[in-house]
Amino acid sequence: MVPVNPSDPSPPPLPAPKPPWWRDRRVVPWVVQAVVGLLVLLLIAFLLGNLVRNLTAAGLLLSWRWLQQPAGFDISESVLPFNAQLPYWRALAAGLVNTIRAVVVGLVGATLLGTLVGMASFSHNGLLRRLARVYVEVVRNIPLLLQLVFWYFVVFLTLPNGVAAIQLPGVVLAKSGLYIAGLGEGLRWMGPTLVNGVWQAPVRLSVEFGALLTGLIVYSGAFIAEVVRGGIAAVPKGQWEAASSLGLSWFATLRRIVLPQSLRVIVPGLNTQYISLAKNSSLAVAVGYTDLYSVAETTLNQTGRAVEVILVLLAAYLTLDLLISALMNGLNHLVQIRER
Amino acid sequence: MSKARLLALAALFGLVGCASGNEAPGSPTMAKIRERGRLVCAVDGAVPGFSTVGPGGAFVGIDADFCRAVAAAVLGDATKVEFRPVTAGERFVALSSGEVDLLSISSTHTLSRDAPGGNALSFGPVFFYDGQGVMVPKASGIRRLRDLAGKPICVESGTNTELNLADRMRELGVAYQPLRFQSGEQAYPAYEQGRCAAITSDSSLLAAKRSGFKDPAAHGLLPELLSKEPSAKVTVQADPAWADAVRWVSHTLVQAEESGLTQANVETRRAAARKDSSQAEQRRFLGIEGDFGRQLGLPADFTVQVVKAVGNYGELFERHLGPATPLGLERGLNRLWTAGGLHIAPPFR
């Protein structure tokens, strides 16, 4: 500061001198950001350079030609038609579609289960309330991998097989999978039939898919139940009391008054759970379901293109999760309070 | 290898986090092993006869003993091994990333795994001659591959067997459902629980796994073999000196059997050869004459260390796989060339 003599009014007060640049509020943040940005870029460049140098030394330069080569292995359960002569990229695509199938069905199932259990923890029925607590505490404290192995080996693989399978009209549940009647060849209605000791039906879900799905739904359902419970608990008690003074039933109160208001607390938490469900689906390898990770692992082993295959995997899971995130952010925007 | 290249390599390994200080000629891997004082050896860990955890908690099996043989050759102590169980799917990455020094797992030698433009691995001599078989429950009435039409077949993903199965079924024009499991620890229980009509792998592995089943006698192999599976020990191509050392440890086991050297008699035979200069071949093999150990970057008496630690190839086979074991495998192609088999060691000279 320039000393100003208050007793001397004649010269007009000088404008405050410019501080040096390293104390300038407009300059410093830019400098700091530039330096940090440069360091990050240097680190990335170092890591990439290191990768390329080491790969070159090991005789492995990045290459994508393998994507066009025939895969050579079969996939039994695929939405996209696939056989061993098709190229690797088709195998990866088939794996990705299988992953998406498990994730989408898993998301719907886990949301339904989680919402029901979350609601049940506010029930007037003490037994229901305690069951919901037991479910949540047991399931979320056991590793998912262990649960998947349990569902697969202990529950699904102990189902009866062949003629002994559980048969209901139009539906058969056997050790090899769930068979459902539907439109078969020539658009004729076909029920499950036993051909040469193997069940056949227009709609077939393998037990591997069943075990993965059950595991994902039960596991994520417990976390979602907690998110829903938190959301419901966040709605002020007065809302419940007002609804009940209007004569609304417990269920109607939840459906029409409490749940809509709790959504704005629930949705952000749900986003996290959805993303972990998508990532957890890669544990499918443990139960023999051919998902993207399983195909990628075989591809990696057959081609030796570890870095490239891992890059594909990273990109695929990242895209899937960002997509889920974007959808959930959109939903979040919809359920927020409109301030007028 | 020039000094500059050596320095560059050392610098490169330094980047991965294990700078090597001493200037042992040739192999950076061997330098690394000597520095840390133990060999990191990848095994399957769940195949009886090849590598499993024994009752005492130590790894047992012919693959595990090969690791010990290499440790005995390099470090002079067969106990200096860190076993690292890896799955079929992750074994090659574990090796190329430097996580392990050596793969002692049934790994079929194929062109794409060997070639610099493929996996860029280095294979030793064939350690075990095998072929891919198919195991079915005897009660199932399945007698040939064709009988498996439309049926689920369990297979380990990321293996050669997965590809052979696809090839053979395509040749036969038989549709089937492959059930791909990440490791045998899932595939075999799934088969035993009846999820698949059959399971396919190398015949020796099938026999090994069957020996651990609740009722081994209820399962049999189909007469057809799907492929030839000569399996070998694997190292990385970037370190040819290390690959050579491992290769000659493998040859040592076979040559020892041919020369009649066993775990029990190798010391006395060496003492006898020391006194008798007419046993030229024996003296070269046992490191009394010549400097063959040094040429490989190994101690002069590495052959003696190997045989003392684990015995010769025939002893290994009898101890872990032969008729006296639960696996009860015949030696068949795995006999020495002098006995009508395929194992032959090049001359130690």
B64, B156, B216, B307 from B185: Cα distances, Å? 18, 10, 17, 33
Which of A49-53, A140-144, A331-335, B320-324 is the least confident region? A49-53
Model confidence over B175-207: pLDDT tens digits?
888 999 988 889 999 999 999 999 999 998 898
| Rounded Cα gap, residues B338 and B318, in angstroms | 18
Burial B256-267 (b: 16+ CB within 10 A, else e): bbbbebbbeebe
Class of the domain covering B130-229: alpha beta
- Look at A71 and A61; give whichever has higher pLDDT: A71
pLDDT at A28 over 50: yes
Domain spans in chain A, listed from the N-terminal domain onward:
88-140+218-335
By three-state DSSP, how is residue B276 classified? coil
Contacts of B338 (CB under 8 A, 6+ apart): B258
Give the chain B residue whose CA is nearest to the CA of A84.
B166
Phi-psi region of B297 (alpha: psi -120 to 50; beta: other; left: phi over 0): left
Using 50, 70 and 90 to split pLDDT, how confident is the model at A8? low
Give the nearest partner residue to A288 out of B92, B169, B179, using CB atoms: B179
Strands in A139-253 per DSSP E = 166-168, 171-174, 177-180, 182-183, 189-190, 193-195, 198-200, 203-206
| Rounded Cα gap, residues B94 and A251, in angstroms | 56
pTM above 0.80, yes or no: no
CB contact A194 to B (< 8 Å): no
Domain spans in chain B, listed from the N-terminal domain onward:
3-129+231-339, 130-229
Give the neighbor-by-neighbor strand order of the sheet with A166-168.
A166-168, A171-174, A177-180, A203-206
Of the residues B185, B195, B234, the best mutation for testing chain A's interface (the one with the most A CB atoms within 10 Å of its CB) is B195
| Rounded Cα gap, residues A295 and B199, in angstroms | 19
B3-129+231-339: CATH topology: D-Maltodextrin-Binding Protein; domain 2 (3.40.190)
Using 50, 70 and 90 to split pLDDT, how confident is the model at B11? very low
| Rounded Cα gap, residues A319 and B1, in angstroms | 46
Cβ separation B15–A50 shorter than 8 A: yes
Give the nearest partner residue to A57 out of B12, B93, B97, using CB atoms: B12
Give the chain A residue whose CA is nearest to the CA of B149.
A196
Give the chain B residue whose CA is nearest to the CA of A71.
B163
Cβ separation A158–B193 shorter than 8 A: yes
Model confidence over B218-273: pLDDT tens digits?
999 998 889 998 999 999 999 999 999 999 999 999 999 999 999 999 999 999 99
Tokens (6 digits) for A55: 């790969």
Backbone angles phi, psi at B47, to 5 degrees: -120, 105
pLDDT of residue B22: 37
Contacts of A128 (CB under 8 A, 6+ apart): A120
The CATH number fitting domain A88-140+218-335, selected from 1.10.760.10, 3.40.640.10, 1.10.3720.10, 3.40.50.1580: 1.10.3720.10
Query: Distance from CA of residue B166 to its chain's centroid?
Result: 25
Give the chain A residue whose CA is nearest to the CA of B158.
A298
Cβ separation B120–A197 shorter than 8 A: no
By three-state DSSP, how is residue A110 classified? helix
Cβ separation B89–A176 shorter than 8 A: no
Start-to-end Cα distance in chain A? 47
Cβ separation B178–A208 shorter than 8 A: no
pLDDT of residue A9: 58
Amino acid present at A21: W
pLDDT of residue B74: 96
Taking CB atoms and an 8 Å cut-off, how many pairs form between chains A and B?
127
Tokens (6 digits) for B142: 């399945």
Phi-psi region of B267 (alpha: psi -120 to 50; beta: other; left: phi over 0): alpha
Query: Å from B80 to nearest chain A CA?
Result: 27
Q: What is the mean pLDDT of residues B122-129?
A: 95
| Rounded Cα gap, residues B290 and A36, in angstroms | 61
What's the mean pLDDT when you consider all of chain B?
Answer: 89
Query: Å from A255 to nearest chain B CA?
Result: 44
| Rounded Cα gap, residues B256 and B267, in angstroms | 12
ipTM associated with this complex: 0.76
CB contact A160 to B (< 8 Å): no
Start-to-end Cα distance in chain B? 23
CB contact A49 to B (< 8 Å): no
